[in-house]
Amino acid sequence: MYMNIRTATANDLPRVLELNEEALPHVNSLEIKDMEWFLEHAHRFVAVEVEKVLIGFMIVLEPGLDYKSLNYSFFCNNYSNFEYVDRIVIAETHRGQRVGTALYQQLFDQTEKKRITCEVNVEPPNPASLAFHRFLGFKEVARQQTNGGTKKVEFMVKEL
């Protein structure tokens, strides 16, 4: 399967938002203005297409942004020299086809940072994402309750 991984554009945002909402509760719900903020501030915001259909995306942030996220704040407060994967979403029809692996491999190959960070839900459980990130070499460094105790995340780091 040929994948085209490219920088996301404003024209991609409606489809990106649709994919994001389909991935609930494993990512939080967003509005178009949130995606526009990411497009402007993210260090990397990539889209992946198969046969000219957008089937996934990845948003990566560097430290130092005015981004109100407890998870992002955890990494900013505890690490330096990192990139934070705020979200990676692959259409259900294309999961298990190495699309996520390709997105991460591009990040690993292109970053100049010493570590890649992310978090994965453990409540509600997301065992597929946990297994995927562990397969890629991410290690658990902490856990945190969020959303008034309705979610618990596992903070993960991959040292490069």
pTM of the model: 0.96
pLDDT at 6: 98
What pLDDT score does 148 carry?
83
pLDDT in tens, 122-149: 999 999 999 999 999 999 999 999 888 8
Cβ contact 133:156 at 8 Å: yes
Say how many C-beta atoms besides its own lie within 10 A of residue 68's C-beta: 7
Tokens standing for 67? 């981004």
pLDDT for the residue numbered 149: 83
Tokens of 5: 């991984």
Residues of the chain with pLDDT under 50: none
- pLDDT recorded at residue 155: 98
- Rounded-to-integer distance, Cα 119 and Cα 125, Å: 12
- The 3 state secondary structure assigned to the chain is CCCEEEECCHHHHHHHHHHHHHCCCCCCCCCHHHHHHHHHHCCEEEEEEECCEEEEEEEEECCCCCCCCHHHHHHHHHCCCEEEEEEEEECHHHCCCCHHHHHHHHHHHHCCCCEEEEEEEEECCCHHHHHHHHHCCCEEEEEEEEHHHCEEEEEEEEEC
- Homologous superfamily assigned to 4-159: Gcn5-related N-acetyltransferase (GNAT) (3.40.630.30)
In the chain, what are the domain boundaries? 4-159
